[in-house]
Structure formats: C-alpha cells, structure tokens
Amino acid sequence: MHRFANPARFLRLAALVLPWVSVLSILLFAAGLWMALVASPGDYQQGDTVRIMYVHVPAAWMSMFTYSSMAVAAACALVWRHPLAEVYARAAAPVGAGFTLLCLVTGSLWGEPMWGTWWVWDARLTSVLILFFLYLGYMALVDAFDDPQRGNRAGCILLLVGAINVPIIKFSVDWWNTLHQPASVLRMGGPTIHSGMLWPLLVLAAAFQTYFIAVVILRIRAELAERKIQTLRLARASAEA
C-alpha cells in the first residue's frame, strides 16, 4: 500500500480506475434493480414488502464495511503515518454515514408492516444507530480543531475506539434476543435465502460497492486538490510577507 502513498501516483491510478468503476456501477444498478423489482419473486409471507431488502441489506453491509475500512485507515495513519490514510477516512465518512442512514430508514419502512412499529430499541437497531452517531462524531471532531493534524489524530482515535461496535452489530442477533432476523446470507452453513432473491441482492451489493469506490475516488481527488490550493495560498502569503 505504501506504493500508493504518493498522492501523484494515487491520482494516476484513480484516473484509470474511475471511468471503469463508474460504468460498472451504473450497469450493476440497472441490472440489480430490474432483477429486484421485476424478476425476483415476492415472499410468501411478506409479499412485495420484501423488496425493501434489496436496498436495506446492501446499505447495512456497506455501512459496516466503510467504517471498518476507515478504522484500518486510522491505524495506518497513527502507526505508519500513511499520508493518504487520513484523506481516505475524511472522504469515506459522509458516504458511510449516508449508507447508515439509508439502512436505518429502509429498516424502519420494512419493520412497520412486519413488526407493527417503526422502531424498537433492540440490539441490532440500537447498535446501527450508534454507528450513525460515530460517523457524525468523527466528521464533527476532525473539523473541531484549529490545527488539522490534531483534528485528524483525534478522529483516528475515535474511529479505532468505535470499531468495537462493528462486531456488536454483526453478532447482536446471536448474542441477544431481538426482533431482527438472524443472518441468512453471510453464515457458516451457507445462504438460506432462495436463489431467486439471492442473486439480485448480490448484484445490488456489488453495485453499492462500486458506487462507493467511485464516489470515494472523487472525494479524495477533491480533498487533495483543496490541500494543494491551501498550500499554494500559504506559500504565496509567505512570499508576499
């Protein structure tokens, strides 16, 4: 990974990857939505309400993946001083927060007809809500200091501390008695979901992943450009002084 620590090298790689991943994301979303909304069968109990799953589940996966990757980036920034690790964490945070909010909203829409309520304070829902607040807390903390380095360091520490919430989200349905159903895709015994529903779910999960890659690349490029502009402004101000 240190090969891509150089911003110029990363930008060259990003310029090659971005068009491909963007087109792939569009194609996957088009195919996945058609499979989910048209081709896949309704559930024998939930009917067409089950189609919320095709957005809810990938959003939940991406909310945990994004935070986990940010925590890894925080460790790289604190231990190895990787110059792009903090930039990645800053770029990924709003995207991860968006995935988490989408997970919470679609979960409420799905829960109301299934459970008869929009929200329950069970372990899975509460831990995902905490994850959303961790995203918001990180974004607020990194900009709360006059010194950007102090803000980034404090944000990295928060990411590492909050990482303990990710396995809690994953295993909450196994550790506690909750209304939320247990895992039906990522489980030791293999998926229990019907293949007619599994494939649209996996295609949309891949669509969410490629979308994430494309958006984060754009945000990293914007962050690097902003830092370059700030450096040039400081150099000009020093020269004029």
Q: In this predicted structure, what is the pLDDT of residue 164?
A: 97
| Count of C-beta atoms within a 10 Å radius of residue 191 | 15
Q: In this predicted structure, what is the pLDDT of residue 5?
A: 63
Q: In this predicted structure, what is the pLDDT of residue 191?
A: 63
Structure tokens given for 220: 């990293």
Structure pTM? 0.91
For the chain, the structural domain boundaries read: 23-175+201-240
The per-residue pLDDT for range 182-197, each reduced to its tens digit, is 666 665 555 667 788 8
The per-residue pLDDT for range 104-161, each reduced to its tens digit, is 999 999 888 888 888 888 899 999 999 999 999 999 999 999 888 999 999 999 999 9
Q: In this predicted structure, what is the pLDDT of residue 53?
A: 92
Q: In this predicted structure, what is the pLDDT of residue 190?
A: 55
Q: In this predicted structure, what is the pLDDT of residue 193?
A: 77
Q: Residues 139, 94: contact at Cβ < 8 Å?
A: yes
Q: Judging by beta carbons within 10 Å of its beta carbon (0-12, 13-18, 19+), is residue 120 exposed, middle or buried?
A: middle
Mean pLDDT of 76-93: 93
